Amino acid sequence: MEVIVCATAEEGSDLAAKEVLGALSRKPDLVLGLATGSTPLGLYRRMIDAHRRVEADFSKVFTFNLDEYLGLPPGHPQSYRAFMDQHLFRHINIPPDHIHFPPTHGRDVPAQCEEFERDMRRVGGIDIQILGIGADGHIGFNEPTSSLGSRTRVKTLMEETLRDNARFFNDGTRQPDMAVTMGIGTILESKRILLLAFGTTKVRAIQSTIEGPISNMYPASALQLHPRVTMIVDEQAAAGLAMREYYKRVYRNKLSLEGSVMP
C-alpha cells in the first residue's frame, strides 16, 4: 500500500486531483468509481475548476457511484444521486447516460445489481476508484462482517453509520437503514484505488486499514490485497499510524526517484 501523509486535507485533495486529471488527459474515456461524503468534495471542486478552465473534458468519461440509499424516492435531496448532481455532475460535462448508480428501485434489485456490474465490465472496468472511509472502517456501505469477496448488493447499515449520517435527515425524512453498495470484491477489481481520509474521526479506521490484519471487521483492510492502492491521509487521520515517519520517507524517496525533489 502506498501511504501519503499530507499536512492538510487541501494538500491531499490537490494530490488526488492531480492523479485523476492526469489519468483523464491520458485516457479521455476514463471510467471513474465515485464516492459521496464530505471527504471527496475538495477533489470534486478541483475537477470542476479544471473543467471551467477548459483543462478537463469529461465528455467521454463514465462514472459508477459506490452506493445509494434504499427506500428514498427518486430525486430525494438526501439521495446520493442528488449529492453528486449538486457537487459534481451539474458543473461538468459527463453525458447523463454515462452516469451509473447502484439500483434501488423497481423489481428484482439483485438482478439489477448484476446488470450494474455488467455495465461496468462493458466499458472496460473502473480505471480509478475514489474511496472515503467510514469511522467503523467501511468502504462504500460495506459494513463490518461484509464478505471480502462481496459484489453489489443490499446491505443493512450499522448503528454507528446511521448515527454519523443522521444529521442529513433532520428534515423529517425517515433515514433509510439499508443501502445498495458495490461489494468489496467489486471494488478490488478497480485498476487503481485512491482512498482519502481527513480529520481526527478517521484515526482508528486508518490505523486498522493500513497496519491491522486483513479482517472483515475492518472492511477497508481488504485493500491490502490490491496492488495499486494509494491512501491519501492528512496528519490528523494519520495520528494513530505506528510507521508514519517511514511512510513519509518512502514517499520522499519516490519523489526523488521521479526527479521531483533532491533526496
38 vs 93, which CB is nearer to ligand GLP?
Answer: 38
- Which residues, 40 to 69, sit near ligand GLP by CB under 6 A? 66-67
Assess contact for 228 and 191: CB atoms under 8 A: yes
Near ligand GLP by CB under 6 A: residue from 12, 33, 102, 132: 132
Closer residue to ligand GLP in complex, CB, 66/233: 66
C-alpha cell at 124: 472496460
Would you count residue 36 as binding ligand GLP (CB under 6 A)?
Answer: yes
Q: Which among 182, 193, 229 has a CA at the least distance from the CA of 32? A: 193
CA dihedral 38, 43, 49, 54 (to 10 degrees): -140
For ligand GLP, the closer CB: 34 or 61:
34
What's the min distance (Å) between Cβ of 195 and ligand GLP? 9
Return the number of the residue (168 or 246) whose C-beta is nearest ligand GLP: 168
Residue choice 141, 152, 192, 209 for contact with ligand GLP (CB under 6 A): 141
Figure out which of the listed residues 133, 188, 233, 237 binds ligand GLP, where binding follows CB under 6 A.
133
Phi-psi region of 186 (alpha: psi -120 to 50; beta: other; left: phi over 0): alpha
What is the number of alpha carbons within 13 Å of residue 253 lying toward its C-beta?
8
List 9, 16, 30, 39, residue binding ligand GLP (CB under 6 A): 39
Cβ atoms 216, 147 nearer than 8 A = yes
The CA distances from residue 215 to 125, 129, 167, 223, 249, in Å, are 26, 21, 29, 10, 27
Q: Per rule CB under 6 A, is residue 38 in the interface with ligand GLP?
A: yes
Q: Which span sits near ligand GLP by CB under 6 A: 7-15, 128-136, 225-233, 246-254?
A: 128-136
Q: Return the H-helix or E-strand segment holding 189.
A: none
Instruction: Please give the positions annotated as active site.
Output: 67, 136, 138, 143
Which parts of this chain interact with ligand GLP (CB under 6 A)?
A: 35-39, 66-67, 132-134, 140-141, 161
